[in-house]
């Protein structure tokens, strides 16, 4: 177990290019658990959230509900666009998704200017391992392994800056009650010994370790990001060349290279297209259900061959022309 956790911590450090002093910490419960960990151990008084889809919105709700924090500042944008963080004097923690999986929009990983000492928490659950990143720009780059890492859920990982580790130690020392399961300092102490507080799912760790090694063997994050970008280029240029398809995210620079969302014209019944695809073994390209759009959503994670994305577009062409 310790060897496995060690291999993952070293591999993630290398893959994501963590700066000196940053450390890879992990615990049980997935990215959703990390929102509670961060609410309890990282937000000092007030958080600012960028919310432009399901996942950014959920973290905002977590800090808003915390009785020991000031009401959060939530900067929202309509699904299909991006809300950007803004420098604010009364905020000690900024939070944004890197890749909003529900809508297929990406935000830059960049610390807003001023005030000194504020930290940035980046939800990289579907972006980590697939999007280029400068980790020096963020204090917690956290994710779960079931997206770009092609593993299973139930675990969270966070690459933490020294400022984030210090912040957690200070808050947890200050008398705020933090359940042990959600304590970041406990997770840091365990991770430093290549272990977790309680028993993790070993199969998840094995899948993750193998995927990290595979990505490193192929050429690391640069290779992975290029491969995803190649898939995205195929998907978006296809949609733009069809009269009945439109990329959902209007601004090209906000379009995700890992989760592509394509609206279909209203006369095309997307449920039928999905059913035919499914019946022929092409699965899981449905839109995020709560969005309720006539939309395809395509995972273009590094494990996906760009040729398969091209094949998918040919299948959709066939269905739209003949079904
Ligand atoms: C999937 C996802 C989550 C939730 O992850 P869990 O491991 O299920 O808690 C959070 N944020 C983003 C951006 C996601 O894609």
Atom 14 of ligand 1 has which residue's CA nearest to it?
125
Q: What is the pLDDT of residues 302-323, one digit of tens each?
A: 999 999 999 999 999 999 998 7
Decide if 312 contacts 298 (C-beta within 8 A). Answer: yes
Specify whether the CB–CB gap between 238 and 267 falls below 8 A. no
| Sign for the pseudo-dihedral over CA of 33, 128, 229, 77 | positive
* 285 vs 268: CA distance, rounded Å: 15
The string of pLDDT tens digits covering residues 47-97 is: 999 999 999 999 999 999 999 999 999 999 999 999 999 999 999 999 999
Q: Which residues line ligand 1 (CB under 6 A)?
A: 30-32, 55, 97, 101, 123, 125-126, 144, 147, 153
- Give the Å distance between the CA of 29 and the centre of ligand 1: 11
Choose which residue among 36, 99, 144 to substitute to test ligand 1 binding: the one with the highest number of ligand atoms within 8 A of its C-beta: 144
Q: Report if pTM > 0.85.
A: yes
Phi (first) and psi of residue 119, to 5 degrees: -115, 155
Which protein residue's CA is at the shortest distance from atom 5 of ligand 1? 31
- Picking from 215, 245, 222, the residue whose alpha carbon sits closest to that of residue 321 is 245
**Number of neighbours of residue 23 by Cβ within 10 angstroms:** 17
Residue 150 in this model has a pLDDT that exceeds 90 = yes
Name the average pLDDT for the chain: 97
Q: What integer is the mean pLDDT of 237-244?
A: 98
**How far apart are alpha carbons 75 and 148 in whole angstroms?**
27
Take atom 12 of ligand 1 and give the residue whose Cα is closest: 125
- At 190-210, the pLDDT tens digits run 999 999 999 999 999 999 999
| Extended strands (E) in 98-137 | 99-100, 105-106, 119-123
Compute the distance from residue 262 Cα to the ligand 1 centre, in Å: 21
State whether residue 314 is helix, strand or coil.
helix
Alpha-carbon span 8 to 2, nearest angstrom? 10
Element (H, E) at 273: helix 270-279
Q: For residue 157, give the 3-state DSSP assignment.
A: strand
pLDDT of residue 34: 98
**CA of residue 172 to ligand 1 center, whole Å:** 25
């Amino acid at each position: 177990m310790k060897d496995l956790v060690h291999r993952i911590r070293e591999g993630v450090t290398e893959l994501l290019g963590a700066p000196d002093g940053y450390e890879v910490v992990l615990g049980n419960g997935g990215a959703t658990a990390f929102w509670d960990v961060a609410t309890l151990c990282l937000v000092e008084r007030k958080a600012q959230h960028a919310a432009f889809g399901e996942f950014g919105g959920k973290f905002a709700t977590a800090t808003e509900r915390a009785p020991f924090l000031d009401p959060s500042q939530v900067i929202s944008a309509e699904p299909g666009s991006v809300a950007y963080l803004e420098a604010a004097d009364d905020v000690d923690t900024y939070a944004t998704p890197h890749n909003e999986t529900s809508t297929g929009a990406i935000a830059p990983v960049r610390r807003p200017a001023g005030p000194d000492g504020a930290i940035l928490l980046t939800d990289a659950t579907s972006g980590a391992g697939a999007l280029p990143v400068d980790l020096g720009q963020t204090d917690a780059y956290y994710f779960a392994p079931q997206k770009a890492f092609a593993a299973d859920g139930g675990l969270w990982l966070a690459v933490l800056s020294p400022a984030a580790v210090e912040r957690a130690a200070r808050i947890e020392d200050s008398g705020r009650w933090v359940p042990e399961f959600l304590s970041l300092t406990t997770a840091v102490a365990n991770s430093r010994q290549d272990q977790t507080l309680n028993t993790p799912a070993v199969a998840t760790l094995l899948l993750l370790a193998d995927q990290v090694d595979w990505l490193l063997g192929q050429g690391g994050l640069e290779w992975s990001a290029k491969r995803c970008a190649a898939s995205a280029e195929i998907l978006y240029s296809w949609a733009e060349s069809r009269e009945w398809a439109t990329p959902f995210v209007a601004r090209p620079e906000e379009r995700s290279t890992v989760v592509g969302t394509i609206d279909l014209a209203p006369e095309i019944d997307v449920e039928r297209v999905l059913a035919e695809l499914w019946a022929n073994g092409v699965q899981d390209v449905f839109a995020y259900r709560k969005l309720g759009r006539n939309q395809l959503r395509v995972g273009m994670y590094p494990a996906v061959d760009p040729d398969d994305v091209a094949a998918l577009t040919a299948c959709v062409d066939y269905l739209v022309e003949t079904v």
